[in-house]
Amino acid sequence: MQRLLLTMRFDGTRYHGWQVQKNAVTVQQTLQDAIEKVTGVRSGVTGCSRTDAGVHANMFCCTFDTESRLRGNSMISALNANLPDDIAVYGCSEVPASFHPRYSAVGKRYRYYIWNSPARNPFWEKYSLHLRWHLDVDLMNEAAAGFLGRHDFSSFCAAGSSVKDTVRAINRCSVERDGELVVFTAEGDGFLYNMVRIMVGTLLEIAAGKREKDCIPSVIAAKNRECAGATAPAKGLFLDKVFY
């Protein structure tokens, strides 16, 4: 029995997140179907994160144990031949049985995309939040610095989360503009349920003049979800990279 680490990309538009659900199509279930077709065995698959419905991934890592002799490019080709067009495996390597795609990770990077233009862009419609009013990126970037450091991010965790430890370290947080595309980037040792989307929602309220630009430290200190901004839509969020 060998543990294989798969690295993949997916468009989360038509999926109800990563985790298998009884009455919804998920990325995990779809991958398990492909693995079963290739190996003849329905293997358990462990992911690096639980993405929400509609969230995308440029890099998502998961493991499964198999007795199949397929490895590397052979396994990649076989799985991709049995996966839909919106999911693609691009890496396959052998890892020790002790490796866990979530707990072995030392950090993650998320990106949130906003198409900031009076006119919508059909090529970004599924992958960004469309805002017609002009965003002050310099203001948002200055405010985003308030997220840096190790803090209790309870204020930025959606209700219903079962996580007990809400302390996380954010070592990179920025807002940049590339033409009409505005990109929020957050990198840290881990993220809470809906954390990045709430961070974005709070920055958007700052940009709209509904909050002071230096409010983030006080929102963090409150440890109260009601003190933070709205949760930004899922479609603009990408898990961009997992660090091991």
- Which positions are annotated as active-site residues? 52
Give me the residues paired with residue 72 across strands.
none
Check if the beta carbon of residue 54 is closer than 8 Å to that of residue 231.
Answer: no
Check if the beta carbon of residue 8 is closer than 8 Å to that of residue 75.
Answer: no
d(CA 150, CA 126): 33
